[in-house]
Amino acid sequence: MNATPTLIDLHTHQSAKTGVWALQNVSLYDIENFSGREDQPLSVGLHPWKVRGNEDPDRLYEQLKFAAGYQQVIAVGETGLDKSIEMPLEKQEAVFRVHVRVSEKLQKPLIIHCVRAYQEILFLRKNLGAVQPWIFHGFSGSAQLARQCIDSGCLLSFGPAILKDHNRAVHSLISLGIDEFFLETDDSGLDIAEIYERAALLKQTTVEVLRERIAERFHKIIIQE
């Protein structure tokens, strides 16, 4: 990453566009066949939707540790808990715990997909004594929940949900300080600039300021330089 702060897209399923520094998510099962640029920063993990329920935790740990050990992998995930799918939460949790172990072992942050399971995840963070940054991506919870996550040592990233009016994500974003969030496009295919413009408008600041502040925080907290 060069000295001039580019727009940082904290979580995307696409490869980065010009002028954008994007953390591209690749599934654990696809990493071997990843054909993108060698310097493309990646996060690797097993999405809760991809959990089969019969994973052997020790085997998964070794597999994930190996994949996440690649130099271009700078974060573990996305992983998480999702109460909107049929896969029992205990099965999802077993896989999530493996990601936490790898994240702590390799000292790489964790990207979290969470649907209606925030309390469970915050409990696990405390219970497991995890110290790596945990980032709830695509956050769209209430302002109160946003504060609770931050107070528990977690980070938040907002995506396309903030483009809608009268959305909970909008209210949460407005309630936060300018140094309390990241921005992302996720699987929307949108231009990250659009998300920055909207966030700047909601925060009554400029894209320039946001870009600098987010890049600075990103370096400090995620890259851990």
Query: By beta-carbon distance, which residue lies closest to Zn ion?
Result: 186
- Min dist. Cβ of residue 184 to Zn ion (A): 8
Closest to Zn ion by CB, 5 or 113: 113
Q: Is 30 in contact with 44 (CB distance < 8 Å)?
A: no
49 burial via Cβ count (<10 Å: 0-12, 13-18, 19+): middle
CA separation for the pair 138, 47 (Å, rounded): 14
Interstrand relation of 182-183 and 154-158 (parallel, antiparallel or unpaired) = parallel
Of the candidates 218, 169, 158, the residue with the CA atom closest to the CA atom of residue 194: 158
Supply the minimum distance, in Å, between the C-beta of residue 17 and Zn ion.
17
Q: How far is the CB of 82 from Zn ion (least distance, A)?
A: 11
Residues, the chain: 225
Torsion sign across C-alpha atoms 73, 78, 17, 211: negative
Select 25 or 63, whichever has its Cβ closest to Zn ion: 25
Whose Cβ is closer to Zn ion: residue 135's or residue 200's? 135
Nearer to Zn ion, 93 or 186 (CB): 186
What is the contact surface with Zn ion in residues (CB under 5 A)? 186
- Residue 11 beta carbon to Zn ion: minimum distance, rounded to whole angstroms: 6
Nearer to Zn ion, 9 or 186 (CB): 186
Min dist CB 209 to Zn ion, Å, is: 26
CA distance 91 to 79: 12
The answer to whether residues 34 and 43 touch, using CB atoms and an 8 Å cutoff, is no
